[in-house]
Amino acid sequence: MRWGPWLARPLIGAILTLLVGCSAAPEPGPSLPTFPASDAASASAAAATVADSGVVPDDCARILPVDQLVAVFGLPLNSVMVRTTVGVPAPSVGRVERMDCAYTGTAPGPDSGRRILAINAAAYTSQAAAHAQWMLNTASEDGVHREQPVGSAAGVLVERPGETLLAVQYGSGTVTLVLPDRPLPAASTPAAMLVDLARRVLPTMAGAARAPAPSSPPPAPVRAIG
């Protein structure tokens, strides 16, 4: 069968139109929002250059971030706030830094306005000074004492009505965590919770761990008073 010119010309034209349409560039869609590269770079640089003045972080949000505390306790997001208090040096005992952190519940409910955790972090002129003050402080705490190391750091757990305390010596630094009595996640205990939290705090004071802690025994257990 032969096609005449009257059929071949329209067919060729249609093929050419189709080919041209397929090869044309697609129309541009809506543009995505962009942000100045300088702003992003400066923010990253600022985060990377945060430097503390000493061994203890200058902000409790870096000693124990609120999101970590919320995750460990199984609390809702944005339900805890932290207040940082900068302490003064105590040359008589060799203390050069002190930071007090108060974590408080903010969401409506039983934790609203209630202290959830308290942390005291301090650094001393030497490991010996830190050890001497740690021994003195833990011996003065009322309650039942027992040895509770945290990794290679020496620790003493103090249990008493209303709260549990864990005092840790970490090289030339000390950390004390106080956990008021409160509902805890299933299968957890105050001691296990405090050890977990201490393991998160100690790495932020890496400058304190330049030598192993002395191997002196912890204070002798005592009974709670009153």
Q: CA 155 to CA 208: how far, in whole Å?
A: 15
State pLDDT tens for residues 83-117: 999 999 999 999 999 999 999 999 887 788 899 99
Q: Could you give the 3-state DSSP secondary structure of residue 160?
A: strand
* 13 vs 72: which has the higher pLDDT: 72
**In this structure, is residue 31 part of a structural domain?**
no
**In this structure, is residue 93 part of a structural domain?**
yes
pTM of the model: 0.71
pLDDT band at 197 (very low <50, low <70, confident <90, very high): very high
Which amino acid appears at position 93 of this protein?
V
The residue whose two tokens read 């209630």 is 114
**In this structure, is residue 102 part of a structural domain?**
yes
Beta strands in 40-183 (DSSP E): 80-86, 95-105, 115-124, 144-147, 154-160, 163-170, 173-180
Q: CA 179 to CA 188: how far, in whole Å?
A: 13
Instruction: Tell me the two tokens of residue 196.
Output: 């977990």
| Whether the predicted pLDDT of 137 surpasses 60 | yes
**In this structure, is residue 143 part of a structural domain?**
yes
Report the number of distinct structural domains present in the chain. Answer: 1
- Please give the residue range of the domain that contains residue 81: 55-208
**In this structure, is residue 49 part of a structural domain?**
no
| Whether the predicted pLDDT of 51 surpasses 70 | no
Q: So what's the pLDDT on residue 29?
A: 33
Q: So what's the pLDDT on residue 109?
A: 76
Alpha helices (runs of H) in the chain, residue ranges in sequence order: 5-23, 37-48, 60-63, 66-73, 127-139, 190-201
| Whether the predicted pLDDT of 150 surpasses 90 | yes
Burial of 215 by CB count in 10 Å (0-12 exposed, 13-18 middle, 19+ buried)? exposed
CATH number, domain with residue 117? 3.40.1000
Helix axes 190-201, 66-73, angle to 10 degrees: 160
**In this structure, is residue 20 part of a structural domain?**
no
**In this structure, is residue 199 part of a structural domain?**
yes
**In this structure, is residue 71 part of a structural domain?**
yes
Q: So what's the pLDDT on residue 209?
A: 77
Q: CA 151 to CA 143: how far, in whole Å?
A: 23
